[in-house]
Structure 1
Amino acid sequence: MPASSSPFLRRAMLYVPASSQRMLTKSLGLTVDTVIYDLEDSVNAEVKAEARDALYQHLRRLPAKPPHVSEIAVRVNNARSPFIEKDLKLAASSFVVDTVIVPKVSNIGDLREVSHILKNLENKHFKDAREKPLRVMAMIESARAIMNLSSIVRGPRLNGLIFAAEDFALDLSLTRTPDMSEFLYARSALVTAARVESIPSLIDLACTSYKEKDGLDQLEKECQNGRAMGFNGKQCIHPSQVNMVQRYFTPSEKELEWAVRVNIADEKAAAEKRGAWGLDGRVIDRPVAARAKAIVGRAEKCGLDVDGLREKWKDQEPE
């Protein structure tokens, strides 16, 4: 069964090629929600084994996760590749790895195969090394995957979906444009299908621009667009993208203040057995109140001062 919650924020998920010792070392000093050590697209086929061994040595030297990294994930090769069993064995062997990212998922069978391998590894070989089973996130990269989303979201261990724009564009012969309109249907379908099964993490496409003002402007535009569509995180390909991405996928001060006011007033309205009520001239009904509650919950996970705002607005009344 898929998971309906996650202990990880996953606002920014940063790829680190396992084939680069320099980048593996640099990753230990990063401040980011999730580091994804990559064994797939950023590693050439002829050096897959060397990259896997380098990552194994890197992980075994870690006494714990780096202090400013919440989650460590490993992007393995796809479920039908000849590398999958060795990749999963590496991930399962390390107590600091939380999550496996499975690329090119096209149907629920891919997730079942990965879960089956992981179960055998965890039970037979690494039972003492792991306190909890590895979580799984699926990368959606093809037309077939979009058509099979209704079953993919019921996959075992599934804890999140990631939209992979470049492979999707390749599969459909699309030309990627700055406004991303060519991905609108696929991204909407992903968010909608995930919500049906309460999949907690919905991670948007990576911005391929990261240099100078034009790159940051495009990243900002993509963050705004992704959040508006219902994504709650974004893939990053360069450390310079992380701060902006995590800021945009954190509730803003204005947004949080509104949500706290709604929460406080809604509690008072409920005590008075009122249904819809008003705030600042706008109607607040059940869906709006639920959205405000979700914003406050996410803000608490992000470490924002929710208690201070509750004290500030403790006298808020429903109109």
Structure 2
Amino acid sequence: MMKTNPFNRRDALIALAAAAGAVALPAFAQPVTKAIFGYTAVTDFASVFIAREEGYFTKRSLDIEPKLIPLNPSIPPAIQSDSLQLGGPTPSVFLQAVEGGLDHVVLTGGGATSKSMTGIGLVAKAGANIKTAQDCIGKKIGVPGLGAFLHVGFRAWLKTQGVDSTKVTFIEASFPQHGDLLRGGSLDAVVTADPFMSRIVSSGTGYVASYYSTFLPDGLPTLVFTARRDWVQKNPAAAKAFQAAIAESAVFINNPKNAAKVREHIGKYIKLPPEVLATVQLSPPLPVVQEKQLAWWSDQMLEQKLLKARPNLAALIVK
């Protein structure tokens, strides 16, 4: 009978024990990936706030630090310079950055458009007598980022109403400035979003002239959560973990039992009192971004001459 080589058997047992030990290692023993995530003061970043506060990042060995950025178009340059490793530009800002030479990719999405959403609108200064798209001609209108989501979507709406958007003067202004700029008379109207829109209206500074965003198709990403391609290539496990954490956050948001917690977490990061947040309409989460969803934005931007050519959209999304 053939004898078993004791050394081979011993080596096999050692290897088996090592493998079992590796499987049993707790999550906190794994290397932690740190990253700074750039966000603007809107509720569509809820999934990031929840993933941090509910521990969805931590349990996946991620240390994601949210950092407030005043203007959305500032996010891609900050990612490129490594001041941020992750961030949430609007789809249009992202696509412009890519065409400009930045090799960035989409990991997940933030919020999604919905025809039932009235948390976005054209808010006119009290007494401005702006009621229709035609009334916007010759007016100064503030947007929270030239070429960003609200700007591109509003220009698309103007076209559907027969208005040439080049006859409107658009001025870049961050969300927190909107009320003061209307009150001071620097702007005739703003394209804004809750919770800022609700505060402007409740204060009497302005009124909603149009919930223009209700014309947009359902299910379009309002934000895309992005990173440099080389960061994803160097940190593939962290990238997958980020996607999984955002997906878990979406489940949390969709559970009606968590409604109060969702608003509590949002309030921590965009610094609004509970009574204000209680009235804000939240957009549905969109953890997975598909090529056809980016294509709508790309087509609008080509028509508005914000892009020179349609990019290879499939290559811009991390599966």
TM range (shorter): under 0.3
Which one has more relative contact order, counting CA pairs under 8 Å at least 6 apart?
2
Q: TM-score, normalised by structure 2?
A: 0.24
Greater Rg, structure 1 or structure 2? 2
What is the TM-score normalised by the length of structure 1?
Answer: 0.24
